[in-house]
Amino acid sequence: MRINTNVGALTASRNTFVNNMATENSMRKLSSGLRISRAADDAAGLAIANKLRTQSRSLNQAAANAEQGNAMLQIAEGAAQTIQRIIERQKELITQKLNGTSSNTTTTTINAEISSLNTESARIQASANFQGTSVFASLTFQVSDATANGTVTVNAALTQTALSGTSTLANADTALDAVNSVLGNIGAGQNVLDYTVQNLKSAVVNVRAAESTIRDVDMAEEMATFTRNNILTQAAQAMLSQANQGSQGVLQLLR
């Protein structure tokens, strides 16, 4: 029997320390819900999880961009439809004016209304905007976290030149064609953005799920690990006490 070096006590003490560390590690994971609560837990996994989190945030913003783009196109659509109704009214007035029964007074009145409607359509075209940006232009929306193929472009360009000169039936038809073309582009763009938002939101769910498998802790599994480590810690402490008591047996030899 030796008293200077109590190997049993040293072994029990080391196991107590190791088990205490493991228990504290499990407590940290259980209390945070994270499998990787610090870089030391899984440095490689943390790097991957961080990239996935960055990707999901970027995809979320891309979805928001697409939704804002759709809102912008809705403003453009509303303004274009109003302009379309103005042109329809102008064509109606032109047809009335060209009738042989129209008097000079009637013609003058009609021309005045046509002119006023021209002014109004030009005002609507110039003032329609989204956060200060004209909605009647070639619009580009960033709808991806990638550089290549990451944008959707909608040609909603409608100039005052295309709307001016609606004093004849031919000019009115030309202006109407221009507005209808813009409305067609807007409708197509809205459909594209709707599908884009659906796809982006699905991608966000999948990316977050992938991040979760790396970053988040399995609570049931970790609780089982915590229970085991806790029991081992208590057992090691009990054995340390036994090892220290064993040295007391030397006193029996000295009596």
152 & 75 share domain: yes
Residue 56 lies in a domain: yes
Pair 210, 179: CB distance under 8 Å: no
Which pLDDT score is estimated for 135?
A: 96
Q: What's the whole-model pTM score?
A: 0.77
Using a 10 angstrom Cβ sphere, with 0-12 exposed, 13-18 middle and 19 or more buried, the burial of residue 128 is buried
Pair 69, 59: CB distance under 8 Å: no
Which pLDDT score is estimated for 63?
A: 95
69 & 186 share domain: yes
Q: What is the DSSP letter of 216?
A: B
144 & 164 share domain: yes
Distance CA 74, CA 46 (A): 42
Pair 72, 135: CB distance under 8 Å: yes
Give the CA angle between residues 111, 115, 121 to the nearest 5°. 140
**Domains in the chain: how many in total?**
2
Tens of each residue's pLDDT in the chain, 255 residues: 555 666 677 777 787 778 778 888 888 888 888 888 888 888 999 999 999 999 999 999 999 999 999 999 999 999 999 999 999 999 999 998 888 777 788 888 998 999 999 999 999 999 999 999 999 999 999 998 877 788 999 999 998 888 876 678 888 999 999 999 999 999 999 999 999 999 999 999 999 999 999 988 888 888 888 888 888 888 877 777 776 666 666 666 666
Range of the domain at 250: 7-33+221-254
Which pLDDT score is estimated for 246?
A: 62
Which pLDDT score is estimated for 217?
A: 87
Distance CA 87, CA 158 (A): 14
Q: What is the DSSP letter of 37?
A: S
129 & 150 share domain: yes
246 & 135 share domain: no
DSSP, residue by residue, 32-66: HTBS-SSGGG-HHHHHHHHHHHHHHHHHHHHHHHH
- Cα 130 to the center of its chain, rounded Å: 20
The full 3-state SS of 126-172, as one line of letters, equals: HHCEECCEECCCEEEEECCCCCCCCEEEEECCCCHHHHCCCCCHHHH
85 & 190 share domain: yes
Which pLDDT score is estimated for 253?
A: 60
Pair 49, 36: CB distance under 8 Å: yes
What CATH code is carried by the domain that includes residue 199?
Answer: 1.20.1330.10
**Amino acid residing at 243:** A
Structure tokens at 153: 């472009």
Residue 180 lies in a domain: yes
130 & 191 share domain: yes
Residue 185: HSE in the Cβ half-sphere, 13 Å Cα cutoff: 21
94 & 181 share domain: yes
Which pLDDT score is estimated for 249?
A: 64
Q: Is 115 helix (H, G, I), strand (E, B) or coil?
A: helix
16 & 47 share domain: no
203 & 240 share domain: no
